Amino acid sequence: MSTPSESSKPMAGMSLRIDDMRFAFRRTGHSGTPVVLLHGWPQTSWAWRRVMPLLEKGFDVVAPDLPGFGHSSKPEAGFDKRTVATRLRALLKALDLPHVVLVGHDLGGHVAYAYAAQWPNEVSHLVFIESSLPGFGQEEAMDVSKGGSWHFGFNMAGDISEALVRGREHLFVDHFMRRETVGVFDSGSVTEADIAHYARALARPGALRCSFAYYRILPADRRDNAVWGRRPLPMPVLAVGAAGGYGPESSRTIRRVASDVRDILIERCGHYPAEERPAELATAIRDFLAVSPPASAA
């Protein structure tokens, strides 16, 4: 295991190798309560670029590229959220962060839940943003006959998904992110340069395979969630929904697996609050941490 080092690669921030896994991550603040930001699909830690400066005062803020995304390693397997959370825990242990606030958006919410469910004593607070969970509401979001998104089935389809998207990453990312943001509420929230950044990340060797693997493993995640869901999360949870995104569904999902839930709905916002409404999101996180003591201190 190496010590953290500055990477020469653009936008990669720092990197740390743990066994066969290399994590790329951004870090700011370096003092106060550790807050770990987990991005969604099809993003990288770049998703938090506007939120991190708003949290750095008083917090030690870490935003990794999840395994398979960005500049992190592209493993051949291990995309069930149990394994992803285990790898993330190894990173945080290496950074000497044994007790953290977890903030997860979209697929990052899946990982954050898997982490909190397995090691509840190591998570003081959970923030669950624009996400749902297999077995606890995800299925409705996957059902196109009920208004769900077709991308779930497409991403789970196998090699054909990679074959159809390879070489068209920019078109693919542009469709999903601008459909929910640019031209809907704030045309400047996700720029052409941002889309290009995510498209380049998705075009890296192995990235498409890994990106789709997060979806192909959802049936296994459902089985794990069914077991973990028998014991409600004990820590305070903030469910963040967006009026133009999942709306109240994030709250409905997490209330099925947690006992202490607050919620907030961000108006005039699509599925990507960290990029569309960073100030509102950062304020909601700060306020939540200020008024919601950990379960052990309650």
Q: What is the pLDDT of residue 141?
A: 87
Tokens matching residue 83: 């394994």
Tokens matching residue 237: 């949870």
In-domain check, residue 185? no
In-domain check, residue 234? yes
Question: Rg of the chain's alpha carbons, rounded to an integer?
Answer: 18
In-domain check, residue 238? yes
Number of domains the chain is built from:
1
State how far the Cα of 184 lies from the Cα of 161, in Å rounded to an integer. 27
CATH number for position 253: 3.40.50.1820
Q: What is the pLDDT of residue 31?
A: 86
In-domain check, residue 208? no
State how far the Cα of 237 lies from the Cα of 128, in Å rounded to an integer. 7
- Local mean pLDDT, 10-residue blocks, the chain (298 residues): 37 79 93 95 96 94 97 96 98 96 98 98 97 93 89 93 96 88 76 95 97 97 97 97 93 96 95 95 96 59
State how far the Cα of 21 lies from the Cα of 46, in Å rounded to an integer. 20
Domain that holds residue 94: 5-141+219-297
In-domain check, residue 57? yes
In-domain check, residue 152? no
In-domain check, residue 27? yes
In-domain check, residue 105? yes
Q: What is the pLDDT of residue 4?
A: 40
State how far the Cα of 56 lies from the Cα of 35, in Å rounded to an integer. 9
The number of beta carbons lying within 10 Å of the beta carbon of residue 166 is: 13
pTM check: above 0.85: yes
Strand partners, 123: 100
Helical axes 169-180 vs 192-203, angle rounded to 10°: 130
Q: Strand order in 21-28's β-sheet?
A: 5-6, 14-18, 21-28, 59-64, 33-38, 100-105, 123-129, 237-242, 261-266
Q: What is the pLDDT of residue 147?
A: 85
